[in-house]
Amino acid sequence: MRVRKYFFAVIYGVILTAFTVYAVLDTFVIARVYETPVQPVTDKETAAKTTATETGTDGVTTGSESLTEGETTAKETTEKATETEFTPVITDNEYNDGNIKITVTEYEYNDTAVYVADVILASPDYFKTALAHGVYGKNVTAKTSEQARDAGAILAINGDYYGARESGYVIRNGILYRNKAKSKTDLFVVYENGETEIVSSSDYTAEELLEKGAEDVFCFGPGLLSGGQITVDDGFEVSVAMASNPRTAVGMIDALHYVFIVSDGRTAESRGLSLYELACFMQDLGCETAYNLDGGGSSTMVFNGRIINNPTTNGRRITERSVSDIVYIGY
């Protein structure tokens, strides 16, 4: 009788362990591609979607070293620019082809290395987003540098890592992929005309945002600036995040004038920023709106095929984290 009792206890333990392992794998590891977005894709949108490709990591380096394939892609991207007599300028920290002007500057702010890409566009069409491997799904990820290369991006930063959550609106390039709201969350909305706005998920459905002309909607947050005023309290943090972190943010100064921000953190050389410090920094840059994207180990900036910052999760190793999406500038 005792043997039988122990037998059932062992079987129960095995089943419980197997279920727990599966639940963890399903949440964080097993990739699932969702074939159909909430909003049907038009022929134009289908043609515009990036073809899913398997990419390697050969050639990826940090700092001032190069990503050979990425540099080639950036040069090819330049050739796609609208015909103009303007001679493109491409240096380690500048890109200007007459339609897209980007200047990358490194700042030292509160013992933290902060990388700022100042972006001026001739058209909102050059502000773009991309999904890892060109598909929407759960646990479908790729490194920011790989996604930038595949998209032909001149400049790219990691996005809001939508795939790590089950809720929160996902609108990319005018396509609605997820309309399940995450309650009381700040959303960063980029409209078709290039204007930006921070709204609450409790105020609009995803469909209503599309009707307003939303081209991209990000759900991470919080919002940092609205109308030029800081909207985050000193000491506020995202969930259980540490106070000083690597950060990624995007802001708008005025019409078609943006800044992409990435800071290093969690290292002896760069401690990282609090959300309030990030808001203050972006206010000093003159931003009218500013929004916090996924940070920590995800924070990565790629410019002309080079990884500009030093991505790290724990401060012990400089390496990129694979993420589900990017925000980029390109054709």
Side-chain half-sphere exposure of 115, counting CA atoms within 13 A: 26
329: which 2 tokens? 């500038």
Cα separation, 304 vs 132, whole angstroms:
19
Q: Return the pLDDT at 3.
A: 53
Whether the Cβ atoms of residue 239 and residue 287 lie closer than 8 Å to each other: no
188: nearest Cα among 107, 249, 233, 113: 249
Q: Return the pLDDT at 168.
A: 96
Q: Return the pLDDT at 46.
A: 43
Read off the pTM.
0.78
189: which 2 tokens? 């909305």
38, amino acid identity: V
Side-chain half-sphere exposure of 188, counting CA atoms within 13 A: 25
Q: Return the pLDDT at 87.
A: 87
Whether the Cβ atoms of residue 223 and residue 198 lie closer than 8 Å to each other: yes
Residue with tokens 């059932």: 8
86: which 2 tokens? 């303007």
Q: Return the pLDDT at 4.
A: 56
Cα separation, 257 vs 194, whole angstroms:
9
The helix (H) or strand (E) run that includes residue 306 is strand 306-307
Contacts of residue 164, defined as CB under 8 A and 6 or more positions apart, other chains included, come to 294, 324
Q: Return the pLDDT at 54.
A: 33
The helix (H) or strand (E) run that includes residue 44 is helix 43-48
97: which 2 tokens? 């082809």
184, amino acid identity: K
Give the pLDDT means over successive 10-residue stretches in the chain (331 positions).
53 46 44 60 41 32 37 51 71 97 98 98 98 95 98 98 94 96 94 98 96 97 97 72 82 98 94 95 98 96 97 82 97 96
Cα separation, 165 vs 33, whole angstroms:
14
Cα separation, 301 vs 87, whole angstroms:
25
17: which 2 tokens? 């362990």
CA-angle at 40, arms to 187 and 218, nearest 5°: 15
3-state secondary structure of 187: strand
Cα separation, 17 vs 40, whole angstroms:
40
Whether the Cβ atoms of residue 302 and residue 148 lie closer than 8 Å to each other: yes
